[in-house]
Structures are given as C-alpha cells and as structure tokens.
Chains A and B, each alone.
Chain A
Amino acid sequence: MLSRHPLLRTTLCVLLLLVVTCGLVFAAFAQIKYRWNWEGFRKNEMLFFQGWLTTLGICAGAMVICLVGGFTLMLGSRAPWEPVRLASKGYIAIVRATPLLVQLLIGYYVVANALKIHDSIVVGMLLLGLFEAAYLAEIFRGALESIGRSQREAASAVGFSTMQTYRYVLVPQAVRRALPGTTGELVSLVKNSSLLSVLGIEEVTQITRLINSRSYTALEGFIPLALAYLAVTLPLSWAARRLERRFAYET
C-alpha cells in the first residue's frame, strides 16, 4: 500500500526519524541524569522571542549585504583594472582565511570604534554580511566561469555588448548554477550570527545564555535555541530547492 503513496511514505519516514532523533537526545540527557527545569525558560519566553526577532532582522540585513557585496567582489575580481582586481582578490583571500570570531572582535572593538560607529547591531550586521560576501564572491565566480565559451560567442554573435552579455546570457545562467552554493552560505550566515553574542548583541543566542544564567539552569535554553535556528534554516533550504527546480530548464 505504501509503495503506491510516495508522499505518505516520505511523511512516515520523516516522522519515524524525528521520533528516533528526539529519543536519542533525551536518552543522552537521561544517561547523564540531567534534571530538567523549564520554569525559568518559560518565564522568559517573550525575551527569547524578541531575541529571535533580532536575529532574524540581523540575518535579513546581512543577507542583502552579502549578496550585493559578493556580486560586487566577483565583478571586482574580474575587473580589467589591476588594482581593483588585486584588492578584490586580496579581500576574498584574507576574509576566507581568518576566523569570523577574530574579524568580529577586531572589526567591532577597533575598526568600528575608530570610525565612531557605536550601534552594535549595525556593526554586527555589516561584519557578518561582509564575511559571507567573500565566500559568495567565489561561488558566483565559479558559476560564471562554468558557462562555456560557446555561450559568450553566441551572445557576441547576436550582437550583444559586454553589458548585455552579462545581463541576458551570463548572469541568468550563473544564478541557477550558483543557487545550491549560495543557499549553503545563507544557512551558514544564519548559524554564524550566533557568534555576534560575543559583541554583546542581544540576539537569540546571547538571550538564551542570559536566560540560562538568570534561572540557574545549564542547558534548557539550548534546545529551544536549536529549534529557533532550524525554524529559519530549514524553510530557507526548502525555498531554495523550489527555486532551483523553477530554474531547471536543462532537463
């Protein structure tokens, strides 16, 4: 019966896996004889929710920054003018080769201070966006360079200028090829936003730590925290897969 209802079968499989996973998690907690105390967390639910909204806002802003920044860096790394090309490539290399934590601390306490920007949320959003932009630039570059020479030649043959070639031929095809990698980076961005807690920004991770210490509990808050991140990252991946299917013109 199940073989004739693929949707039902998939749903059952997912539910089963979910139950097994939850069972394993709670078994682990039981093994260490963890004593649950949800009272403190429940009292601070609203605070947690506010933190989650802050995280959402920071991530949305950082996503825009990293998409625009990534595209700009990609263009920069292909620019005909050498200083621009070297600067873009150097930025990408250094940002990708150093830990985000170090970038956040130096960016916030040194650079932002020197520039007299004191809004920690804005600084955090910028630093996170600029960090992911370096990765996206490489994903975009790979996607663009994977488009064959024959497509460039065809674009040139129908009379497109360089700008038109990018606009009508290269970018639309590159978007599809860049989608899977870009989704991965955006999901990373959401998770990496938890590091902003070191700047004292009251995003959801920082709030969770606050709640845990305020109610003298050790780990309770981290389970809702994991779920709060999943509530963003899973729909993001799902939406991206739907988008990929919409762009699937080659099969």
Chain B
Amino acid sequence: MKLEARGVVKAYGIHRALDGATFQTESDARVVTLLGPSGGGKSTLLRVLGCLLVPEAGQVLMDGTQLPNNEVGALRERRKNGFVFQGYNLFPHLTALENVALPLRAVHGVSAAQAEARAREMLDRLGLIGHEMKHPAELSGGQQQRAAIARALAPKPRLLLLDEPTSALDPVMTGEVLDVIRELAENGQQIVLATHEISFARKVADWVVFLAQGQVQESSTAEDFFTRPQTALAQQYLEGLAKYR
C-alpha cells in the first residue's frame, strides 16, 4: 500500500496534535511504523490514517484515493480497518468470544453461527483456547491484548492499525504480543504501528514515519531511518532509546 498525508491538521481544543503533517511512503510499504517522542502526534496520525478521526485540514490518501473528510464516509471507511489500542479497550461486559463475534454480526452482517465459528478460530489462533467464555477482567494484560487483536483481525481488515500495543504490558507479555504482530506482518497483513519498541520496529518495519511536535520530521525506509537518520531530533531520539539496551 501507499500512504500519503498532505498538511494534515488535527487539534484538541487549542492544542494542535497534528500541525501540518506531510509524508508519503513508497508504493509497496506493508508495515509502516510511526515513531517519535510521546505527545509528538503518533497516536493522532494513526487514528487519522485509520479514519477514526477526521482531520480539520489537509488530505490523506491511501493508494492514491483520498480518504473521506466527513463522519459518514469515515465510518464506512473504518469498517474496513482493524484497531488495537494501548489499553486493549475490550468491552468489559462481554466475554472474549462476544467481543470478537458481536462486531462481526452487528457491523459485517455475518450470521450468528458463522460469527461464533470465526471468533473461536481467531481466539484459537491467538492462543486463547479455553478462555473464550471469560470476561476481560479475568484475563491477563497479554491475553486481553491478544483478544483485542483477534477482534481487530476477525473481519479480515485491509489495514491493521496498532497504537502502542505493548506499552501497558510487562516484558514477558510484550514478547507474546510482538510475536503475534511479527507473524501477521510475515503473513502479509498490511500494518500501521505506533510504538516505542525500536528494536522490534527495526525487525518488522518497511517504512518509518518519525513525528515530533505534530509534524513529520522524517519519512524513509526503515533501513535508511535506523542507519542514517537525517534530522537531529531523530538522532537524539534513537540515541536516547539505545542508551539502556
């Protein structure tokens, strides 16, 4: 896929989370990683790319087609995408199985029996066999995040968007979740990933978009970004993260 943003602005009150973000990936990027300091605009850009937020100004293009800039069009568009959040955001009143099956039935028009079969298949694939009937509060953080990934993947999304999916997990659970994401990437799933896991990004990313202060500071192949960062901000960022690894 080819992602492109032109002068995207998204503000929360007077704070401009994205202040004219512009970038363009190569035409066959499969795993695009958003890197940068906290508060730099990663999460907001990820939501704009996935049509979860509609920007105030600017354009976003996917494979040359402009994404809608109204709520009705955005809803249609984001139904093609899957989202995974830092805080899992499962529905606490539903079992793991229902968390996956309900959107299939309600949004994608899948029959009840097929939705359940698909949900079981996805939970099975993510190593949650035997946990189908548990509520989120009965699952560990890593299990919850894997259930959230199952929910995002069940409708076979064109694009999977992950917003710091391991930031709330301990190192062991982080490993579990990163394994899943790497496997997805290797199987050809198109992914946009916002993360602080630099070494993981290095392994899976095709393209890196580096954001700070609401603007794209660098946009290049992962190879180039990690070996030859162009801006001082990116150099400092990479050095800072490399210090204790």
CB-defined interface of B135-162 with A at 8 Å, one 1/0 digit per residue? 1010000000000000110010000000
Q: Is A21 among interface residues, defined by CB-CB distance under 8 A?
A: no
Q: Are A151 and B89 in contact (CB under 8 A)?
A: yes
What are the residues of chain B within 8 A of A37 when measuring CB–CB? none
Q: Is the C-beta of A119 less than 8 angstroms from some C-beta in chain B?
A: no
Least Cβ–Cβ distance between A20 and chain B, in angstroms: 41
Given A157-B83, A249-B137, CB of A173 within 8 Å of CB of B52: no
Using Cβ atoms and an 8 Å threshold, which residues of chain A touch B75?
Answer: 156, 159, 161
Contacts of B135 in A (CB 8 A): 249-250
Q: Does A153 contact B (CB under 8 A)?
A: yes
Cross-interface CB contact of A159 among B85, B90, B103, cutoff 8 Å:
B103
A164 and B50 alpha carbons, distance in the complex (Å) = 20
B85 touches A169 (CB 8 A): no
Q: Is B87 an interface residue (CB 8 A)?
A: yes
CA distance A157 to B83 in the complex (A): 6
Q: Give the residues from 103 to 128 in chain B that come closer than 8 angstroms, CB to CB, to chain A.
A: 103, 106-108
The main secondary structure of chain B at its interface with chain A is loop
Q: Which of A150, A156, A176, A249 contacts B52 (CB 8 A)?
A: A156
Min Cβ gap A164→B in Å is: 6
How many angstroms from the CA of A221 to the CA of B125 in the assembled complex?
A: 69
Give B85-105 as 1s and 0s: 1 = Cβ < 8 Å from A's Cβ atoms. 101011111000000001100
**CB of A12 within 8 A of chain B?**
no
> Cβ of A251 and Cβ of B137 under 8 Å apart?
yes
Task: From B79, B91, B108, name the one whose CB has the most chain A CB atoms within 10 angstroms.
Answer: B91
Q: List chain B residues, Cβ under 8 A from A247.
A: 93
In chain A, positions 4-19 with a C-beta closer than 8 Å to chain B are none
Contact indicator A173/B93 (Cβ below 8 Å): yes
Contacts of A227 in B (CB 8 A): none
> For the complex, is B78 an interface residue (Cβ under 8 Å from A)?
yes
Within 8 Å by CB of B93, from A154, A159, A164, A249, lies: A249
8 Å CB contact of B106 from A151, A168, A172: A168
Contacts A150-B85, A168-B106, A249-B135 given; indicate if A156 touches B92 (C-beta within 8 A).
no
Question: Quick one: given A168-B102, A251-B137, are A159 and B89 in contact (CB under 8 Å)?
Answer: no
User: Which B residues are in CB contact (< 8 Å) with A161?
Assistant: 75
- Say how far A158's CB is from chain B's closest CB, in angstroms: 4
Contact B92 A154 (CB under 8 A): no
Chain B residues within an 8 Å CB radius of A160: 103, 106-107
Decide if B87 touches A249 in the complex (CB within 8 Å).
Answer: no
Chain A residues 126 to 182 lying within 8 A of chain B, measured CB to CB, are 150-151, 153-161, 164, 168-169, 172-173, 176
Closest residue to A167 on the B side, CB-wise? B106
Which single residue of chain B is at the shortest CB-CB distance from A173? Answer: B93
Which A residues are in CB contact (< 8 Å) with B103?
158-160
B54 CB to closest chain A CB (Å) equals 11
CA distance A160 to B151 in the complex (A): 13
Give the distance to chain A from B109, nearest Cβ to Cβ, in Å. 11
**A169 contacts B78, C-beta separation under 8 Å:** no
Contact (A173, B106) CB under 8 Å given A157-B78, A158-B151 = no
**Judging by beta carbons under 8 Å apart, are A154 and B52 in contact?**
no
Quote the shortest CB–CB distance from A163 to chain B (angstroms). Answer: 10
Q: How far is the CA of A250 from the CA of B134 in the complex (A)?
A: 11
Expressed in whole angstroms, the Cα–Cα distance for A155 and B93 within the complex equals: 13
Q: Whole-angstrom distance between the alpha carbons of A247 and B137 in the complex?
A: 13
Can you list 29 residue pairs at the A/B interface with Cβ under 8 Å?
A150-B85, A150-B89, A151-B89, A151-B91, A153-B52, A155-B91, A156-B75, A157-B52, A157-B85, A157-B89, A157-B152, A158-B103, A158-B151, A159-B75, A159-B79, A159-B103, A159-B107, A159-B108, A161-B75, A164-B107, A168-B91, A168-B106, A169-B91, A173-B91, A173-B93, A176-B93, A249-B137, A250-B92, A251-B137
Q: Which 6 A-B pairs have the closest CB atoms?
A: A154-B89, A157-B83, A159-B79, A158-B103, A159-B107, A249-B135
- In the complex, besides A150-B89, A160-B107, 8 extra interface pairs with C-beta distance below 8 angstroms are A151-B91, A153-B85, A154-B85, A155-B91, A156-B52, A157-B50, A158-B83, A159-B75
Interface residues of chain A, those whose CB is within 8 Å of chain B, are: 150-151, 153-161, 164, 168-169, 172-173, 176, 247, 249-251
